[in-house]
Structure 1
Amino acid sequence: MAVTAPARLGKLPPIQALQTRRGRLSYMLSGRGAPAVVLFSGAGVSLQGWEPLYPGIERLGAVFGWNRFGMQGSDAPGDRQTGAGVVGALRELLSYAGVQPPYVLVAHSLGGLFANLYARLYPAEVAGVLFLEATHPDDGELLKKHEQQLVNALARVFTLPEVFFEANVRAELACVEETAREIASAGPFPEVPVRVLTGGLTPRSWQMSPGVVGARRAHQQELARLSPMGEQVIAQKSGHFPQLTEPELVLDVLSTLMEDVKAVL
């Protein structure tokens, strides 16, 4: 997994929390305008992983970010972190926070599975999707094989001890296969504007074999083909965290996606 130094961090809006039927979840909401942008973090990554996009992302409309169960400010998960459970908790939280659909989903890494499932289960609530180095349903075996490397990468990128990420990463990756089955049995992906932003840096051979790299790149192309309005963009200077290393590119891609979304709403 290619790792590069993060860009200068921005400043997040205040983090709040709400009690849902499944437990307490922390979130942040800022900006104005529809459709609202909903952020899906990767495994083990809290809201701080979106800092470089602020305050620029707020100029595009209302922005909602949240910490899944097990992350900072949110309760420990009471159930297994399957896709259906995660999506259900999010929809409840969005309702309580007063954020109305349709949404533009912005999903990084493992968050891509949850956004993929959300779009299939509730297509009327989704106006567009930005897959950001997102996990494909067929990436499950790859994730399991590189679980510890993911923990190591998170510790290096965010300069925090590995123990800060381990429990959440392992709990969420344990449900990846089940979430992939949920995606396969859900309805078709909606015909909405889609962008797939893929890191252009190649992981070193000791991190990921060339065959695995090739398969993952093919999966990224498949994500772009989920919709006839799908496009892939390569972040040439980034590995797995373009929002940290090329935040301006991420904002540019999201801005053009929002324009396409508004044109078809």
Structure 2
Amino acid sequence: MNPLPSKQQASIHGQALEYITAGQGSPTIVLINGAGGPLEGWLRVWEPLSVLGTVFAYNRPGIGGSGKPVVPQTGEVIVEALRTLLLHAQLSPPYLLVGHSLGGLAVQLFARTLPEEVSGVVLIEATAPEDVSVMASHRSGFQRLAQRTLDAVFGRDEFGEVEHVSRTVDLIQRVGPFPDVPLVVVTGGRPTMAWATSAQALTARAEHQRRLAALSPQGKQLIASRSGHFPQLTEPEVVVDAVRFVTARQTTGA
């Protein structure tokens, strides 16, 4: 497995952002991390994806070599910063967006706000807008205690995207429809912390994953049967196959 390419830096709207690129040609595959996840999380899929086209990944504010956020990281701020960073890197639309976990909300907002700039979407264990309220209402005592402990140890970032996720969900619900583009939803077959999560919450999230796949008439769901929340690490071939499927649909228009 080859290492990731050298990281580059850009100043976008006064915010220092770190990014990497590789490959060439179309499609431009844009990898969007989950909350707190560094771009190194794409290591196991990076090389095979770079064979399919141009691949791009970056660290959002507060991660890796990117600076701490200087403004609240609401959905529209995240989308605009990403779009400007892509243009800075001389990567023109349309983009094939790949979002993991909370990054799935950014992907949805980008695709709904700028449908003409999106040619396809892959969602990996993605947060659905419905998850935010439903999962919070079903949190176990253990999960609430764990969150309070983390907040006490590390503090809460008032500008961080997690603090503003409700605003992002509201934006998704108010903007235009999801575009009619090739879409694959990759869902882990082994839910993370299932032992500490209520049956109702697990059932709700499974239904939300199915609904994500139904966002586009061209949508489908893949189950990564051996994976929890990080199929790109545990079953990278499933994620690569999902991107390859979307790429093929783009090419054939099927």
Q: TM-score, normalised by structure 1?
A: 0.86
- Residue 225 (structure 1) aligns with: 214
- Residue 80 (structure 1) aligns with: 72
* AA at the equivalent of 2:90: G
Task: Measure, in 2, the Cα distance between the counterparts of 1:217 and 1:170.
Answer: 30
- Residue 258 (structure 1) aligns with: 247
Unmatched 5+ stretches in structure 2: none
Shift of 1:171: 2.5
Q: Is the 8 A contact 1:71 1:168 kept in 2?
A: no
Which one scores higher on RCO, CA 8 angstroms, separation ≥ 6?
1
Write the mapping of 1:180-199 to structure 2, written as runs, cut at 5 A. 180-199=169-188
1:240 paired to 2:229: yes
Q: Is the 8 A contact 1:44 1:168 kept in 2?
A: no
Write the mapping of 1:50-199 to structure 2, written as runs, cut at 5 A. 50-141=42-133, 142=135, 145=139, 171-199=160-188
For residue 63 of structure 1, give the secondary structure of its aligned residue in structure 2. Answer: strand
* AA at the equivalent of 2:121: V
Q: Alpha-carbon deviations, 1:54-102, whole Å to 9, x = none?
A: 3111111000101111111111111111110000101111111100100
Task: Measure, in 1, the Cα distance between the counterparts of 2:100 and 2:158.
Answer: 14
Q: Is the 8 A contact 1:109 1:135 kept in 2?
A: yes
The number of aligned residues is 248
* AA at the equivalent of 2:44: P
Q: Is the 8 A contact 2:194 2:202 kept in 1?
A: no
For residue 48 of structure 1, give the secondary structure of its aligned residue in structure 2. Answer: helix
Change (3 A) 1:165 1:47: farther
Task: Measure, in 2, the Cα distance between the counterparts of 1:236 and 1:218.
Answer: 17
- Residue 158 (structure 1) aligns with: none
Shift of 1:162: 11
Task: Measure, in 2, the Cα distance between the counterparts of 1:205 and 1:72.
Answer: 29
Change (3 A) 1:85 1:170: closer
* AA at the equivalent of 1:101: P
